[in-house]
Structure formats: structure tokens, C-alpha cells
Amino acid sequence: MLVFSGCKINLGLNVLEKRNDGFHNIETVFFPLKWNDALEVLENTENQSIKLSFSGYPVIGSESDNIVVKAYDLIKKNYHVPGVKVHLHKNIPMGAGLGGGSSNASSFINLMDMKFDLKIPLSKKLELAKQLGSDCAFFIENKAVFAKEKGDVFESVKVDLSNYYILVVYPNVHSNTKMAYQGITPQKPKESVKTILEAKPIEEWRTLLVNDFESSVFKNLPQIKDLKQKLYDSGAVYASMSGSGSAVFGIFKTKPNFDAGGFPFYLQEPDYSR
């Protein structure tokens, strides 16, 4: 069985405060895109474990540390499942702030549920995903949400970008999340991300909607700042770094004429059927 595993961008991201558990409380809107990896699962009759193979972009790290393996181990603790062979084709760059790995894990949970008819309740899927990473649960339902606390508590949000082109560019550099956090001072904004997105026209987002990580990341990686400006120069009505970087996206009213300079990129076209 084969599924396609998408990614997300962050529309605004405010770091509010440091938590007692060492994490930070944030607020952001996760917005899904159809830049997909491909994930295939076959039953493994040779043993009762998971065997991973890869193609596409290189996957960094050992197999035992892979988030899909961790998802399989969680499922196996809760449900009777056979061994599986999993092939992951990576189209989404790693370390880009797009949540590709988190999406792989949650898509794998959904795929295992379908393939082996596990009848896992939605609430249980969300619980399993939250154990794997703060943004993993978002990809279980894969619809726009206002995310708060560690980024794993969701509220519905009204944001519709179906009439716009969304261009995402990965500048082939890695932004370190730990360093990004170290470079900012948490504070509560005057207006929440949700209020801005629901109440303000997209033409005003440029001056109102902030990704707090940009201030520290841009200092260390000025080419990301330059890429954001290049998107605006090409006609984007709004542009931002996604998450803690390093991918940058632009939202356009018309199809952009943009030279990505050889960098990996994805263009999502309008969906006028919505």
C-alpha cells in the first residue's frame, strides 16, 4: 500500500515563553502543502520487525533513530501487527522547517491503520503522534490548525489560500533549531497569529505577521533573508521563513516568474474547485 506524505508551512510563529519542562510555548498556524514524499508498506513475511529502504534525498541518521521506526514500535506496543517492509522516497528536503519527517511518521500511522484494519480511533492516532514530535499530530488530519503550547495543542482556524500560488524554496543550508531558540527573547505579541490571519487581509500580513525565528536565523544565515526579499521582489504578497528554517515560502496572486537558482523548490497552484 502506498501513500503520499505532505509537508507544512508556518503562517506566523510567536515564541511566547520558556516552559518548566525546557520546551517553549509557541503559537503558529500550520498550513498543509502537497509537496509529497512517497511511503510504501508491504507485509514482511521474513520476520516480525520493520525494514526500511530509501530513495530520493539522503536520509540522515541510523535506521533505529528514524521516526518511522519509532512510529512502528509505538503501534506494535498497542496493536498486533506483522513485520513490514517500508520504502520511503524523499522529495521533501530534511531540516527545512517543513515537517517532512513528522509527516512521514503520521502518514505511516494512518497507512498501518488502513492496511491492517486496526480501527485506531482518531484520538488514539493523535496520542501516538504526539509521542513522536510536537508537530506530528498535525499530519494525522492534515488540515490547517492554530497550534499552541508546544505546537501540539490545536484549534480550528479559518484560512483559505486556495486561490493563491504558494512557492517554497529550500536554499540548501541547514538552520539549527536550538541555535534559533537561543537567539530570541520570548514575548507575547499584541495580536495572536490566529487573529491576524482571520481578521486581516493578506495584503497586511507583511507588516503584521511575524516569524520570531527570522531575527536570529537571518543573522547567522543572511542568504535566507536574501531569499525572502527575492520572493517579495518577484511579487509575493506575503513571504516568510517556515518554522525555524531554512525553507522560505512566498504567496502569490499570479503565477510567479522566479529563478530558484538551482535550489530545490515546490510550486503549489491554486485549487479553484474549493
C-alpha cell at 137: 499530530
C-alpha cell at 89: 522516497
Angle, in degrees to the nearest 10, between helices 67-78 and 122-130? 130
Q: Residue 180 is inside which H or E element, if any?
A: helix 177-182
Is residue 150 part of the annotated active site? The answer reads no
Check 125, 135, 212, 230 and give the catalytic one.
Answer: 135
Residue 261: C-alpha distances to residues 93, 172, 175, 258, 265 (Å):
16, 11, 19, 9, 10
Residue 198: C-alpha distances to residues 14, 23, 167, 194 (Å):
16, 27, 22, 6
Is residue 271 part of the annotated active site? The answer reads no
* Residues taking part in catalysis: 8, 135
